[in-house]
Amino acid sequence: MKEDRAIHRRISEYACAEPQTLRRDFQITSEGYDPWQVEDSRRRWGANVVAGRRADTVLYRLRRAFVTPFSMILLVLAAISFVTDVLLASNFSRNLTTVFIVLGMLLISGAVRFVQELRAKRVADHLTGMIATRVRVLRAGRWTELCSTELVVGDRVRLAAGDRVPADIRLTEAKDLFVSQSVITGESGVLEKRAVTLRPGTAKTAADYENIAFLGSTVMGGFGEGIVLAVGADTVYGGFSAAGAERKNGFDRGANSIAWVLIRFMAVLVPVVFAACGLTKGNWLSAFLFALSVAVGLTPELLPMVVNACLAKGCAAMGKKQTVVKTINAMQGFGSMDLLCVDKTGTLTGDVVALEYYMDVLGNESGRVLELAYLNSLYHTGVQNHLDDAILRCRDMPGQQERFESLARRCPKLDELPFDYERRLAGVLVGGKENLLIVKGSLDEVCRLCSHVEYKGQRLPMGPDAAASVHAVADEMLEDGMKVLAVACKPMEGRTARPEDVQELTLLGYLAFFDAPKKTAAAAVARLRELHVGVRVLTGDQKSVAVSICRRLGIDAEQVLTGPELESLNENDATMRIERTAVFAELSPKQKARVVAVLRANGHTVGFLGDGMNDLPAILESDVGISVDTAAQAVKEGADVILLKKDLNVLGEGILEGRRAFCNLSKYIRITASSNFGNIVSIVIASVLLPFFPMTAVQLLLLNLLYDLLCLALPWDQVDPEACARPLEWSGRTLGRFMRFFGPLSSIFDLLTFAWLFFVLCPAVCGGGFFQLAQEAQRLRFIALFQTGWFLESMWTQVLILHLLRTAKAPFLQSRPSRPVMLVTGLGIVLFTGLTFTPLGRLIGLTALPPVYFAFLAVMVALYLLLVSLAKGLYRKKYRELI
- The catalytic site residues sit at 343
The three-class DSSP label of residue 365 is strand
Q: How many CB atoms lie within 10 A of CB 663?
A: 20
CA–CA gap between residue 626 and residue 639 (Å, rounded): 5
Which of 313, 587, 240 has its CA nearest to residue 424?
Answer: 587
Decide: 300 and 735 in contact? Cβ < 8 Å. no
Half-sphere exposure of residue 56, counting CA atoms within 13 Å on the CB side? 13
CA–CA gap between residue 636 and residue 631 (Å, rounded): 6
Helix ranges, 299-329 (H)? 303-319
Amino acid symbol at 282: G
Write phi, then psi, for 812 (nearest 5 degrees).
Answer: 70, -25
Amino acid symbol at 795: M
How many angstroms from the chain centroid is the CA of residue 120?
Answer: 15
Decide: 586 and 564 in contact? Cβ < 8 Å. yes
CA–CA gap between residue 587 and residue 615 (Å, rounded): 10
How many angstroms from the chain centroid is the CA of residue 770?
Answer: 58
Which of 602, 661, 653, 665 has its CA nearest to residue 626?
Answer: 653
Which of 732, 779, 736, 765 has its CA nearest to residue 849?
Answer: 765
The three-class DSSP label of residue 203 is coil
Which of 321, 390, 320 has its CA nearest to residue 647?
Answer: 321
Q: CB under 8 Å to 687, separation ≥6 — which residues?
A: 273, 276, 277, 280, 281, 290, 693, 694
Q: Is 564 exposed, middle or buried (0-12, 13-18, 19+ CB in 10 A)?
A: exposed
What angle, rounded to 10 degrees, do the helices at 776-805 and 697-710 form?
20
Which region holds residue 443: left if phi is over 0, alpha if psi is between -120 and 50, else beta?
A: alpha
Amino acid symbol at 859: V
Helix ranges, 282-400 (H)? 284-298, 303-319, 330-336, 367-379, 386-392
